[in-house]
Amino acid sequence: MNQPAVPVLEPGATGTRGLVEIKNVHKAFGHVEVLRGVTLTVHPGEVVVILGPSGSGKSTLLRTINHLEKVDAGHIAVDGDLVGYRARGGKLHELREREILAQRTHIGMVFQSFNLFPHLTAVENIIEAPIYAQHRSKGQARARALELLERVGLSDKTDVYPRQLSGGQQQRVAIARALALEPKVVLFDEPTSALDPELVGEVLDVIRNLADSGTTLIVVTHEMGFARDVADRVVFMDQGQIVEEGTPLQIFGAPRHERTKAFLSKVIEPAFNL
């Protein structure tokens, strides 16, 4: 594994909220190179939707943003702070685990499989991280959790356990849990792929409302209608690289790259209209 090169960050990056800078990121698992020089800047408050076939590197890219996967080369910064590393003496040094965990409180992530604690109620799932990671009082954390449950339409499910919730309700609790830390950026990794079709809409509605609030969102999804309606920018990935990016109107209406055209022709029905 190559040591990531020491980056030169742009002056003034620090002090923004939700600026994500991905520079020439490479990641391999064994001999399989999953990310091959990905460069992408997501601006504060922007909603970026990442599309692409299975195995194109979309989920791996998300996981490098909060250092769940270490990069082999290149770097990632959020608001000018390197993710997972500190530059010292002309070299990059990986942060200690507790420092990485502290960074992750600024980068919320919602997984496709919910990942709720089954032995905790909805409100208990939400207050866990603020209490232990941010040292908030139980009263403060609970008050915020109740606000968030109301925001995602689950104010009547406060003391309900995950097994008593539908898949869509569980995912909405997971979104509230991610927001409880008041992150600068929220990452969504196929947030509806584990849901029955009739439950997809309720989760997408919550994400739509979140997008309207000005939070920086990076969403990996196969929901083309959502990407068309909500994204500020659509990024198409294939074989570990960004093939094309642009507005939803451009990507869905007039894609430039043949690979993008081929992908969209398979996943969008003929009746799909802008």
Amino acid 12: pLDDT:
41
Whether 9 shows a pLDDT value over 90: the answer reads no
Q: How far apart are CA 58 and CA 82, in angstroms?
A: 20
Amino acid 269: pLDDT:
60
Looking at the domain 20-106+183-269, which fold is it? Rossmann fold (3.40.50)
Whether 2 shows a pLDDT value over 80: the answer reads no
What is the average per-residue pLDDT within 18-28?
97
Amino acid 263: pLDDT:
95
Express each pLDDT in 186-200 by its tens digit.
Answer: 999 999 998 998 899
Kindly report the length of the chain.
274
Whether 3 shows a pLDDT value over 70: the answer reads no
Amino acid 194: pLDDT:
87
Q: Say what the pTM is.
A: 0.90
Q: How far apart are CA 5 and CA 163, in angstroms?
A: 46
Amino acid 73: pLDDT:
94
Chain mean pLDDT for the chain:
91
DSSP-derived pairing of the beta strands 73-78 and 81-82: antiparallel
Q: Return the axis-axis angle of helices 167-179 and 138-151, rounded to nearest 10°.
A: 130
> Domain segments of the chain: what residues?
20-106+183-269
Q: pLDDT tier at 5 (50, 70, 90 boundaries)?
A: low
Q: pLDDT tier at 30 (50, 70, 90 boundaries)?
A: very high
What is the average per-residue pLDDT within 86-104?
90
Express each pLDDT in 40-94 by its tens digit.
Answer: 999 999 999 999 999 999 999 999 999 999 999 999 999 999 999 998 888 889 9
How many angstroms separate the Cα of 114 from the Cα of each of 42, 62, 195? 25, 16, 10
Phi, psi of 38 (to 5 degrees): -80, 125
CB-CB neighbours of 118 under 10 Å: 8
